[in-house]
Copies of this chain bind each other. A is one copy, B any other.
Amino acid sequence: MSALQQFIEREIPKVNAALYALLDQSTMPASLKESMHYSIEAGGKRVRPLLVLAVLEDALEADERVEDRYAVAAAIELIHTYSLIHDDLPAMDDDDYRRGKLTNHKKFGEAMAILAGDAMQAMAFQSIAEAHSIPADIRIELVQLLAKASGADGMVGGQVLDLEGETRQLSLEELEHVHIHKTGALLTYSIEAGAILSRMCEHERSELKRYARHIGLAFQIKDDILDVTSTTEQLGKPANSDEASEKSTYPAILGLEQSEKQMQAHYEQAIDAIAFFQEDSYLHQFAHYIVARDL
């Protein structure tokens, strides 16, 4: 097993424990808890929480890392999960399956899916706010940046652009603009949150954001490529669904070969941005994993 795999297998249970602790401490109605629990345990790869934790792992010694980093990691996963629940709704992408399981609204109905997503967003901010071992000024900075990254200027704005782009073929520039907001903003936040929790200097923080921007785009290109080259069984959702829905994708605009090259170029830019870390750092390994994965 690679060092990254060991790290992932060690850290994911801790992220999950933080997520379940948030649900367990709540007095919410049982039906709402069931719906939220269903989507939280639906087998996500926990990429965003792992990115926060990887930065801390690379930047700090073990005794310098605050325990409450898992509360921040959980907050990001809650935002990501709520966005998937809302994106899957009939009025949006109208998906019946996600990661091989029924989507939240297919299982619990549309009203509950909308409300479970709404509650997850609030719980994300609550999780950071209640991470008391992190100083208040750091927590409020984390809240502010998460709100911006996940809201109208970031993820939600990107989803609007994505919906508006569905009716026509986008240019490469427009497609990048969509991704930088829809998925890139939250990935970048994950990395930046790690940098903030590690008390990095402005230069390193800005370089890490550059890293994040490039692995975000590499991640998205890889997703588009996998949709073309994988089977439905591998993906846990219908393969070639992008082509079927006439979605703008990198392979559709550039072809497969050029898409691979673009992805490789973003990978190299990402690696360049983290020159101040050792070459076997988790962030190096993450960048490699993102372009090499087959799922």
Contact = CB atoms under 8 A, between A and B. Distances in A.
B126 A151 contact: yes
A89 B117 CA distance: 14
A236 interface: no
A148 B126 CA distance: 7
Interface string A19-63: 000000011110111001000000000000000000000000000
B150 A140 contact: no
A160 B112 contact: yes
A125 B129 CA distance: 11
Interface in A55-110: 82-83, 86, 89, 91-92, 109-110
A220 interface: no
Nearest to A105: B91
A218 interface: no
A167 to B, nearest CB: 13
A147 B125 contact: yes
Contact of A123 (B28, B146, B151, B164): B151
Given A91-B111, A136-B137, A140-B143, A31 B129 contact: no
A153 B27 contact: yes
A161 interface: yes
A118 interface: yes
Contacts of A3: none
Nearest to A82: B118
B122 A28 contact: no
Nearest to A127: B147
A115 B156 contact: yes
Interface residues of A, number: 52
A121 interface: yes
Contacts of A156: 28, 32, 115, 118-119, 122
A42 to B, nearest CB: 18
B139 A28 contact: no
A188 to B, nearest CB: 15
Contacts of A111: 89, 91-92, 163
A160 B31 contact: yes
A122 B136 contact: no
Of the candidates A126, A139, A146, the one having the most CB atoms from chain B within 10 angstroms of its own CB is A126
Interface string A231-251: 000000000000000000000
Given A91-B114, A136-B137, A137-B136, A26 B152 contact: yes
A144 interface: yes
A159 interface: yes
A160 B126 CA distance: 19
A86 B92 CA distance: 14
A227 to B, nearest CB: 22
Closest 6 CB pairs of A and B: A122-B151, A91-B110, A129-B144, A126-B147, A28-B152, A119-B152
